[in-house]
Chain A
Amino acid sequence: MNITCKDRDRVFEDRTEAEWSALESHANTCAVCAEEIAAWKDLSVTAAELRDYSENPALWQRIQRSLREESARTLERKQRTRWAALWQTVGIPWQTAAASAFALILIVGGGWFYLYRPSQDSSELLKSKALSEVERTESAYVQAIAKLDRNAQSRMENPETPLLASYREKLLVLNSAIDDLRTQAGLNPSNTHLRYQLLAMYQEKQRTLEEILEDKQ
């Protein structure tokens, strides 16, 4: 085989045994090729400088730990997706049937609830019942006091004595207090403390009106 300097790069790039032998034979008579071949080979040997296979015993321990952690994570993920996977193993007709059954249960359940749902919450019902009873009684009581008030009205418009004038002042204060309490009770109808205070005011007004009427007789 005849190899010349021109073939050198081609042989370096993709050589056969015969071509390489021929190039080396040629290098015996060609100083340039001899130097090139030596440099080419030396580069391969120099590459060995980049080899360092020293061991780090801790590395495998680290890898082993991370592999264990990864296995645990994978297992956890698998368990999480097991139900979804189980669903996927069921055939399409069965999936359709199950979905239809579920939809049917939802519709029937919803219809039943709509038809037989309780009209109101029972505790709410009791609460509103008690409240309306209180309000009814209060209204009757207010009407009775209003009757007394009308009877005492003529004396209160023109008080003849200082005592009547004082009663008049007291009634004005009581009426004002009653108005305030009624406003507050209107905002918070279930507040029993307010109701009791209102009752006390009504009772005081009743007593005052009775005293005015007794004084008249």
Chain B
Amino acid sequence: MGIMGLMAPWANRIGPVLHQEERRLEPFHPGATDVGAAPADTLRAEDKTLAAECRSGDLRAYERVYAMHGARMKNLARNLLGNPTDAEDAVQETFIKLQRSIGTFRGRSSFATWIFRILVNTCYDARRSRMRKKEFTVEGENEVPPEPRSPGAHPSLRLALERAVATLTRQQRNVFLLYEVEGFRHAEIAEMLAISETASKNTLFQAKKNLRQLLDAPRGSGALGAR
């Protein structure tokens, strides 16, 4: 039994209706609405205004940034780092870096793209430093217990997916989480990760192919269950 087997009890939840509720605009989802549906010029102007307010040291502007992106930032950080405590630290660090380098934001990319790029780099810095720390501590000594998720989430399905995502390459993990979980478009992901749009699409394809193999593998084979 693979991914399909794993998801079989959830067949009702993953029916076609849900597909149409995806918020990202995709060519094959004519009914879907794009999050960033506002004209690009308007968005750029808003970004510049927000950046200027942040540059002036206005904490309310930062609060607005947090209100707009905080939840998604924390979610992405949690998926990259594996626990909520580290994720919150990463979000905090990202805001400090944002404050330090706000003067360098020129508005060539969107403000959100810029912030998430900082966040992704911060998460990988945190992962590296955690790996170094782990070398000096006994395994499991500082392990943070998993945070309870929203009631709707199915623990075994989420756990299986988390484990499978963790086995992907860094770039595949980034693209998968940004596209499928956070709902960014390939153009935005390309800007965030400094890759081409085509590379983003290709990486997502590879990531999903690998995930399918991992989740489809029979449980007895140990491909997923043993991880």
Contacts and interface: CB of A to CB of B under 8 A. Distances in A.
A66 B96 contact: yes
Nearest to B16: A41
Residue among A9, A14, A16, A40 with max Cβ neighbours from chain B (10 Å): A14
Nearest to A68: B59
Given A63-B66, A64-B59, A68-B59, A41 B74 contact: no
Contacts of B211: 43
Given A16-B27, A59-B70, 18 more contacts: A14-B205, A15-B27, A17-B27, A21-B28, A43-B180, A45-B14, A45-B18, A47-B176, A47-B180, A49-B154, A49-B161, A50-B158, A52-B153, A53-B72, A60-B63, A66-B96, A67-B99, A74-B100
A59 to B, nearest CB: 5
Interface of A: 9, 12-17, 20-21, 35, 38-56, 59-60, 62-64, 66-68, 70-71, 74
A46 B212 CA distance: 11
A63 B64 CA distance: 13
A13 B205 contact: yes
Contacts of A48: 18, 181
Contacts of B161: 46-47, 49-50
Contact of A66 (B4, B71, B95, B165): B95
Contacts of B57: 71
B59 A67 contact: yes
Give the 10 A-B residue pairs with the shortest CB-CB distance, closest first: A17-B27, A47-B180, A20-B28, A13-B205, A53-B71, A45-B14, A49-B158, A50-B181, A63-B95, A14-B201
Interface in B38-54: none
A39 B71 CA distance: 28
Given A62-B88, A66-B95, A46 B63 contact: no
Interface in B63-89: 63, 66, 70-72, 74-75, 78-79, 84, 88
> Per DSSP, are chain B's interface residues mostly helix, strand or loop, or mixed?
helix
B149 interface: yes
9 contacts: A9-B205, A20-B27, A39-B216, A42-B14, A46-B157, A59-B70, A62-B88, A64-B59, A70-B100
Contact of B96 (A45, A46, A51, A67): A67
A62 B3 contact: no
Contact of B92 (A38, A44, A66): A66
Interface of B: 3-4, 7, 13-14, 18-19, 22, 27-28, 30, 57, 59, 62-63, 66, 70-72, 74-75, 78-79, 84, 88, 91-92, 95-96, 99-100, 149-150, 153-154, 157-158, 161-162, 165, 176-177, 180-181, 198, 201-202, 204-205, 208, 211-212, 215-216
A68 B22 CA distance: 38
A52 B149 contact: yes
A59 B75 contact: no
Given A50-B158, A52-B75, A43 B212 contact: yes
Contacts of A21: 28
A59 B62 CA distance: 13
A58 to B, nearest CB: 9
B201 A42 contact: no
Nearest to A43: B208
B165 A50 contact: yes
Contact of A51 (B75, B95, B162): B75
Given A59-B88, A62-B88, A71 B99 contact: yes
B88 A13 contact: no
A43 B205 CA distance: 11
Contact of A42 (B4, B30, B88): B4
